[in-house]
Chains A and B, each alone.
Chain A
């Protein structure tokens, strides 16, 4: 590593000679781990996505160019997974987690302390639970003989087998249940930083609750909204365990989002090359969101 610039510190250790290499040495363990176990697989991903690698007979894979990708875009099951991923992300992350999180944070500003603490604890508890446990709890909630139907029955409303009739809706609700705490915490922090004088002045001028929210609060926390939306979306794009536990992507493939489709192609159908092509697409979409997120952070600084 070339010598560092603009460095005017007292050099620790022997002699006071500049030793940029020794200085960079503490980075070595992290660099090795990141290169071998993260950058390596990503590069390998970019490579095998262009091969016809299969689970059996791995020695004989060959380079097939963009075949996996063209095949994907002609594959109804893939397009179905793209659509469901879109539905899942929009419903649970953009609308559900984000709006509910903001609403909770806004209500918490006014609520009494006890209610605030209790609600916060319950919502955060859903967030802290391991993914699979959350999956089971929501599975029990949505099953035909589960809690939701028991409540609907008690209210004399029609019941359904939710996991069968509306599986993507059920897993989206599960993701809202599990992920809202993050948005709630982000927005609570953001709302807490708005100076009281501003909202009070608006109130004096006769702006009602909704107008204050729309014209003052939301513009002031727009950066938090941006970063929160990015992080929620990235989180939601990679949800696997929750859906796996609740529906396995089924019935049929009616809740099969891209991660589950990728898993099925690679392992249940043994087409690693094809599955990886899907993974690469997911990775590219994730990278784009990640870049936007970094952009938002930079504009904030």
Chain B
């Protein structure tokens, strides 16, 4: 079926893509190879002997377990808060017509795009004044708020896709709107809720600036900040261990992404952002 011309085009496209892929893969290859290399340095090279010593060395409470647990607490807590608030907020926005809906949604969309980095200095100053600085709960609240506009926007779009008829049947049977949200709407938009949850979690897991500004004591630091210690406090950098830790820290988000992308298609998070 394919003419020589389309074959030639395909080969050219393949070659082009492979060149880009090779350039992109080099930094990734470094982290994987170095983690297994007993004598890792800054170059991509075939290890002179495969070892798991680097992983052994970093799998201590101090280096890995406490920061990861902190990350989990921080991002897990904030994700729960974000998803719960967004699901509740999306319900009236999706179900009832009111003249406040459009201005509210416009504000939310506007806030989605604001550079959160810019407000970290005033947030720090504010947190100092209200004694929320260096607290897990303060950081969780801010994280949730920063993720909330996008979460509400996505959640509302997904909720619009659930037909109203099923709910109306439940209402005639005497269910309250809260019950119909929990029992009918949310289960029907399960994939949507999963996307919002995973997206929020992944964004926060990788965020460096927010915990870097709002947390001070080393014992509370999540992995995104504690990874800096490999450079600062421990003297000479052991690159193999840095690579091993990078892999351990990155694995959860990559797995979550693959899980969601597999089920809901590649650009899962883009549906709400680009189509509006």
Is chain B found bound to chain A in the same assembly? yes
List chain A positions with a Cβ less than 8 A from chain B. Answer: 1, 4-7, 9-13, 20, 23-24, 26-31, 33-34, 36-38, 40-42, 44-45, 48, 53, 58, 100, 103-104, 107-112, 115-116, 118-120, 122-126, 128-133, 136-138, 140-141, 143, 145-147, 150, 177, 182, 185-186, 188-189, 224, 227-228, 230-231, 234, 237-241, 244-245, 259, 262-263, 266-267, 272, 275-276, 279-280, 282-283, 286-287, 289-291, 293-294, 297-298, 300-301
Contact B98 A300 (CB under 8 A): no
Q: Are B27 and A141 in contact (CB under 8 A)?
A: yes
Q: How far is the CB of A152 from chain B (nearest CB, A)?
A: 12
Size class of the B contact interface (CB-based, 8 Å): 35 or more
Q: How many A-B residue pairs have CB under 8 A?
A: 317
Cβ contact within 8 Å between B122 and A38: no
**Quick one: which of B42, B207, B273, B276 has the most chain A CB within 10 A?**
B42
Given that A118-B21, A130-B253, A150-B43 are contacting pairs, would A241 and B208 also be in contact in the complex, using a CB cutoff of 8 Å?
yes
Provide a sorted-by-A list of 20 A–B residue pairs whose CB atoms are within 8 angstroms.
Answer: A4-B98, A5-B99, A7-B98, A10-B168, A12-B177, A23-B92, A30-B86, A30-B152, A37-B123, A103-B20, A131-B206, A136-B31, A147-B27, A147-B30, A263-B120, A275-B121, A279-B122, A282-B118, A287-B114, A300-B276
Across the interface, do B276 and A286 meet the contact criterion of CB distance under 8 Å?
no
Cβ contact of A146, chosen from B42, B112, B116, B208, cutoff 8 A: B42
Are B267 and A294 in contact, with the CB atoms below 8 A?
no
Partner of B227, one of A10, A23, A103, A136: A136
- Determine if B119 and A290 form an interchain contact, defined as CB atoms under 8 angstroms apart: no
In-complex Cβ contact of B145 among A36, A275, A289, A300 (8 A): A36
Residues of B190-219 contacting chain A, CB below 8 A: 202, 205-209, 212
Our pick among B6, B88, B114, B124 for the contact of A26 (Cβ within 8 Å) is B88
The answer to whether B122 and A111 touch across the interface, beta carbons within 8 angstroms, is no
